[in-house]
């Protein structure tokens, strides 16, 4: 997903359509900081993918949900993140 890329145009269209319908969008398979930056520019609300965390066991996801904050879990970084505010983390499953 880079500038001028057909995939970027598709993502823009989906985010715009969802916004016009009052829906929130969760971008999946976010793997790079560049992709995250593009999504922020497009005003995508949420993202998930390997950039934030490897897949988690249900018990690890439960711990994350119950603590309501970023947490190191089995060598993983962050779990799906509200990308509109860096300090707020939201689980996107």
Q: Does residue 90 lie within any of the structural domains?
A: no
Say how far apart CA 81 and CA 73 lie, in whole Å: 15
Residue 72 belongs to a domain = yes
Q: How many domains does the chain have?
A: 1
Determine the Cα–Cα distance for residues 53 and 78; give it in Å rounded to an integer.
5
48 versus 83: the higher-pLDDT residue is 48
* Domain, as residue range, for 36: 6-82
With respect to residue 88, please indicate whether it lies within any of the assigned structural domains.
no
DSSP structure string for 59-75: HHHHHHHHHTS---BTT
pLDDT digits (tens, 9 = 90+) for 38-72: 999 999 989 988 887 778 888 887 876 677 544 44
Instruction: pLDDT band for 79, please (50, 70, 90 cuts).
Output: very low
The verdict on residue 17 lying in a domain is yes
pLDDT of amino acid 67: 73
1 domain-assigned: no
Mean pLDDT of the chain: 76
């Amino acid at each position: 997903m880079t500038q001028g890329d057909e995939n970027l145009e598709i993502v823009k269209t989906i985010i715009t359509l969802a916004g016009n319908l009052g829906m929130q969008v969760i971008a999946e398979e976010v793997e790079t900081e560049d992709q995250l930056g593009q999504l922020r520019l497009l005003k995508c609300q949420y993202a998930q993918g390997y950039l934030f965390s490897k897949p988690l066991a249900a018990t690890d996801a439960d711990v994350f949900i119950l603590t309501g904050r970023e947490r190191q879990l089995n060598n993983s970084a962050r779990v799906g993140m509200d990308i509109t505010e860096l300090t707020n983390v939201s689980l996107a499953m």
